[in-house]
Structure 1
Amino acid sequence: MQTKIVATLGPASMHPETMRQMVAAGVRIFRLNFSHSDAAYFIPAIKTIREIEGEMGIPLTALGDLCGPKIRIGEVEGSPKQVNKGEYLHLGLPDERPAGGELSYVSLDIPELLAGLDVGMPVNLSDGLLQFKVAKVVKADRLFELEAQNAGFLSSHKGIAFPGKHHPMPALTAKDIKDLHEGIDVGIDAVALSFVQSANDVADVKEHIKAHGAWIPVVAKLERQNAVENLDDILKITDVVMVARGDLGLECPIPELPIIQKKIIRACRHAQKPVIVATQMLLSMVHNPIPTRAESTDVANAILDGADCVMLSEETAIGDYPVETVKVMRQISDEALRYYLERIEGPFAPKKERNPAKYLAYAASLLATNVDAPALISHTVSGDTARILSSRRPAQPIYALTPDTRVLRALNFAWGVKPRLITGDDRRHMDRVEEYVEANPDFKAGEPVVITAGRPTPGNPSSGTNEIKIYYK
C-alpha cells in the first residue's frame, strides 16, 4: 500500500470496532478535527488508536487538525435571501450599517479583513457560491458596496473569502494554541495548521511545539492563494503539506484548481515533503454505498499525480458507510498505483543538482529493480533517508527502521514507506538492519534486499546515509 489513507474520526467512526475495521481496510492516519471539539474529547479515540496499534502491529498516527481563524459573516436579514446578478449590497463592520439603507447588509466583525479592500477586488460569500466585486468604497476600511457577479442564496453565518488579498490575521489562534498544547499532552502524533499564508505561520506553531518540550511533525494546510504563492518558502520549513481544496477553491478560480493541485504535488515530491490531497474525494458516499464515477476518477488522478496520502473527511466522520468508504478508496488506490508505476517507468532521477542523498536514494532504487529485490530497507534516525527514498517512487516497498516512536508515526505520511520500530544500541546501523532482515519472515532465504544506512567516518562523524548494500538473506 504505497499511497496512505487518512480518515477523519467523528460520530460515525469513533467506535473501537469501526476504527479497527478501518485500519484493516487501509487507514494509517486518523484525523482528529479540533474545529468542533477539544483535546479531552479525543482521549478515548487516541487510547483506541494505541490499542489497535498494539493488537495489529501496525504503526498508526493521530493527526490533530487545528481550527484556525474562522471567518464568517453575521446575521443576514431575511436569510436565506435570493441575490440576483448585478444586485448591490453593503459589506461592513457591524456598527457601520447605514440608517434606513435600502441595500441588504452583510456584517463582518473582523476589521483587519476589511483593511485595504478596494474597488475591483473580489469578495466571495456563501462559501464561494456567491461572487462579488467591490463597486464602491463608502468608508475606507469599514464600509463597501458590492456588486453580485452571479445569482444565488445569501445565508447568515456563512464563510467569506477575499481571493488574493493578504490577511493580517495569524494562522494560529488562541484556541489553536490551547488545543495544540493539550493535544500534545493527550498524545497526538502530528498537527495540521489551518489557513497557512507564509512560512512564518509554520515557524510559529513549531516554536510552540518546541516550548512544550516536544517534537511532532507539522502539516501546512494550503487553503489560501497566498500560501500557493509562498509554497517554496513553506516547503523549506514544514514537514507535510495538505492540499485543502475546499477553502482553496474559494480563493483560487475553480478552473485553475486541478492544475494548482498538480503543481503543489510535484513541488512537494521534489522537496521530499509528503503531500495529502483532501476535501470531497468520495463525498457522495456520506449517504451512498458506492461513489460517483467522477469521484472515483478524482481519487485516482490524485494518486496518478503522485500524492503521498488521500484523505476522507465527512465520509468517515458522519457518513453512513465509513468502513466501506475506506475499502473503496483502497481499491481505487490499488488500481491507480499499478498504472502509476507502469507509467513512470522506474524511479525518478534527480535533477542536475548537488544532492548526494538524492543520488544515493536513486541508485538504491535502481539496484532494487536490477536484482529483483522485494524491498528497500533503510535505517533512519530522523526519517530523512526514508523520505528521500520515497521521493524517488521505487516500485518496491520501503521498510524504514527507526528507534524513535515519534519518527515511526511521522513516516506514515510518506508514500511507500512501512515504518518499523527497532531497538537502538551502539552497533553499526547496517548490523541492526541485517539482524532485522534475518528475523523477518517477509523475506525468504537467498532473497536479496537493498539496504541503505549511515556509517560515521573519522572525517565526517555525522555522515547521514552513506552506504548502499545488496544483502542476501
Structure 2
Amino acid sequence: MHGPVLQDSKTKIVATVGPACQQPEQLADLIRAGVDVFRINTAHGSIADHEQKVMAIRQASKQVGCHVGILLDLAGPKIRLGELFCDPLQCDVGKTLTFIKEGAPQSDDQLTSTYPKLIDELQPGNHVMLADGQVALEVESVNADHAVCRVTAAGEVRSRQGINLPGVQLSVSALQRADIENAIWAADNEIDFISLSFVRNAGDVMSLRNVLTAHESEAMVIAKIEKPEALENLQDIVQAADGVMVARGDLGVEIDVAQTPVAQKRIIQVCNAMGKPVIVATQMLESMHHSVRPTRAEASDVANAILDGADACMLSGETAVGDYPLQSVQMMSRILSTTEQTLSERTALQERLEASDPTHLVHPITAAVTHAATVVAESIEAAMIIIATKSGSTAWVKSRSRSLIPTLAVSDRSASLRRMNLFWGIRPVAMSRMGPPAEIREQVCNWAKAEGSLKSGDRIVFVSGTGVVQNAHNSVVVYVVD
C-alpha cells in the first residue's frame, strides 16, 4: 500500500497546469507542497496538448507515490472579440463602437465576435462587458446587420478578449461541439472530474452527464456557477451535479461585483446543505503571478472561503503562467492550515453541516455509522480515523463533519482514490487488495507507523462493513496501536 504522508491542510488544493508547471518534476514538487487535484483548461490547447499534461501528471503522481486527481475544465460557450482593426484599442467614455455581423472590421470603431447570433440577441439597453469587465458598453440601437454601443467605462481591449453579456438571454448551448469532443476524450482517458462552464440550469448538467454515461465514464460532473441564471436555478443545479465551482471571474462580470461575495457564500451554503463538494476559484492569490507573497486581502479571501465551508480552493494563473507556482501552492497550504485551526471550536458551519441529511449520498446505515464513528473519535481523542471503502462514498459523508482528526480512506480502486482527493479532510491511501477488515486495519496501522503518522498507544477508529448489511458500512472498531 502507498499514499501521501498526512498533511496539515484538510481543505483541498486544485492547481492549474500550464507553461509554468507542465514538467513531471515540477508537478511532483507541487504535489509534495499540497496539490490534490490538477486542472487542465481546455480553453487553451488541443487534445494532443491535454494528453501531454495528463501523461506528465500521472508520471508525477507515480514519482510521489499517490493518486492525484485530474479535473478537465470544459471551455463552454465563451464569447470573444474577433480580430480588431486597431490592436490594442483604447475605449474612452462616450466613444461609439459598432458590432458588425459579417466581414472584418474596416475601422477602429467596428467590432466582431465569435458568436454568430450576438447581434440577433442584443437589445437596446443591454450591457456588454469586454476584457473581463474592464470596459463596459451599453447597446443604443440594433438592426439586422449591426449593433451600436456606447462606452460607459473606459479601458483598453485586445483581439480575442472575452465578451460578457449580463442579463442577456442567449440561445447558445452550454455544451459546445468542442466540449463534447473533449468530454469523450476525458471519458476514454479516465479523467476524474469534468467541469462545465456557463451552466444555466440542471438540464445543462444532465447533457454532460448523458455524454459521460454513454461512454461509461465515472467522472464527477462539476457545475461552474458564473451566470445570473445559475443563481436563479442554484438548488436544481447543485442537486444535478456531483460538485460545484464558484467561478468568480465571469460571475463577477455577469453580476454586480458588489454582489459576488454574497453569492459565493450562498453557493457554498447550498452545497454544504446538499452534501456536494464546492471549489472556490479565480484570483485567490492573484498577486502571486509576479510576487513571492500575496496581499493581505488575498490571504483573507482564502481564509474566508474555508470558514464559509469550501471543500477546495483553486489556483489558476498563479500556477499555470505565474512566476512562482511552487510558492503559490506552499502559501495556499499555509493559509489553509492556519485557518483550519479555528475550526476546533464549534462553529455555525459545523452545525449547518450536521443538520443536513447525508442519507441521499449513501445507505442510511452507512451515514449513521460514519457519524457515530466521528463522535467516538472526537470523544476519545483518537489519533486517526480509517475508512475502508470501494467507491469513496463513505469518505464523502465523513468529510462533511469537518472533524480535524486525520482521516485515511483506504481503497483498491484507483478511480475512487483519485476522486477522494476533492473531499475535505480525506487522505486516500492505495491498497493492492482489500482483504478482511482486521487485515486492512493491521496493514494501514503498520504503514502509518512507518510514515510517522501513528505511534504505539495511539487510538484509532476503524469504519468498515462486515457483509451483514449489503452495500453498507455497519462496523465501528476502536483500536489501540501496539
Same fold (TM over 0.5): yes
Counterpart-to-counterpart distance in 2, 1:387 and 1:113: 42
Give the 5 Å matches for 1:295-374.
295-342=298-345, 344=347, 347-348=350-351, 350-351=354-355, 355=359, 356=364, 359-374=368-383
How many pairs are equivalent? Answer: 463
Q: Which residue of 2 aligns with 1:157?
A: 160
SS at match of 1:165: coil
- Alpha-carbon distance, 1:401 to partner: 1.9
What's the counterpart of residue 279 of structure 2?
Answer: 276
Determine helix, strand or coil for the equivalent of 1:149. Answer: strand
Give the drift of 1:254.
0.5
Range with greater deviation from structure 2 (179-188 or 274-283): 179-188
SS in 2 for 1:123: strand
Residue 154 of structure 1 deviates from its aligned partner by: 4.2
Q: Which moved more, 1:340-349 or 1:266-275?
A: 340-349
Of the structure 1 ranges 160-169 and 78-87, higher mean CA displacement relative to structure 2 is found in 78-87
Change in Cα spacing, 1:383 to 1:113, as seen in structure 2 (3 Å) is farther
Partner of 1:434: 441
Work out the percentage of aligned pairs sharing the same amino acid: 37
Q: Aligned equivalents of 2:127 and 2:16: distance in 1?
A: 32
Q: Is 2:60 the partner of 1:60?
A: no
Deviates more, 1:344-353 or 1:248-257: 344-353
1:7 aligned onto 2:10: no
Partner of 1:232: 235
1:6-155 → structure 2 map (5 Å cutoff) = 6-94=14-102, 104-108=109-113, 110-139=115-144, 143-155=146-158
1:394, CA displacement in angstroms? 0.8
**Aligned mates of 1:393, 1:164 — CA distance in 2:** 37
Kindly indicate whether the alpha-carbon contact (under 8 Å) linking 2:119 and 2:142 is maintained by their aligned counterparts in 1.
no
Can you list the C-alpha shifts for 1:19-67, whole angstroms capped at 9, x where unaligned?
2211111112111222222232244443333333333332211222222
Structure 1: distance between partners of 2:399 and 2:172: 35
Q: CA deviation at 1:354?
A: 8.7
Q: Given the alignment of the two structures, is residue 449 of structure 1 paired with residue 453 of structure 2, yes or no? A: no
Counterpart-to-counterpart distance in 2, 1:63 and 1:44: 14
Deviation at 1:436, TM superposition (A): 4.0
Q: 65-74 or 84-93, which moves further after superposition?
A: 84-93
Distance of 1:88 and 1:326 partners within structure 2: 44
Q: What is the Cα-based RMSD across aligned positions, in Å?
A: 2.9
Distance 1:211 1:110 in 2: 29
CA contact (8 A) 2:100 2:146 kept: yes
User: How much has 1:371 moved relative to structure 2?
Assistant: 0.5
Contact preservation (8 Å) 1:120, 1:135: yes
1:392 to 401, 412, 423: 401
Q: Would the alpha carbon gap of residues 260 and 360 (structure 1) be closer, same or farther in structure 2, given more than 3 Å must change?
A: farther
Indicate the SS of the match to 1:156: coil
Return the letter of the residue paired with 1:132: L
| Pairwise CA distance, 1:418 | 0.6
Matched, 1:181 2:184: yes
SS at match of 2:252: helix
Contact 2:73/2:194, CA 8 A, preserved across alignment: yes
User: Does 85-94 or 250-259 show the bigger shift?
Assistant: 85-94
The residue matched to 1:443 in structure 2 has which SS?
Answer: coil
Offset, 1:113: 4.1
Separation in structure 1 between the aligned mates of residue 304 and residue 196 of structure 2, nearest angstrom: 25
Q: Secondary structure at the match of 2:345?
A: helix
CA distance in 2, matches of 1:110, 1:51: 39
Change (3 A) 1:384 1:112: farther
The alignment's TM-score, normalised by the length of structure 2, stands at: 0.86
Unaligned runs of 5+ in 1: none
Q: Is the 8 A contact 1:126 1:154 kept in 2?
A: yes
Deviations 1:384-440 (A, max 9, x none): 21111111211112211223211110010111011122355574xx44553444433
d(CA) in 2 for partners of 1:278, 1:52: 24
C-alpha spacing 1:29/1:122, structure 2 compared with 1 (3 Å): same
Offset of residue 253 of structure 1: 0.8
Which of 375, 398, 407 lines up with 2:416 in the alignment? 407
In the aligned structure 2, how far is the partner of 1:346 from the partner of 1:256? Answer: 21
Does the 8 Å CA contact 1:347/1:362 hold for their aligned counterparts?
A: no
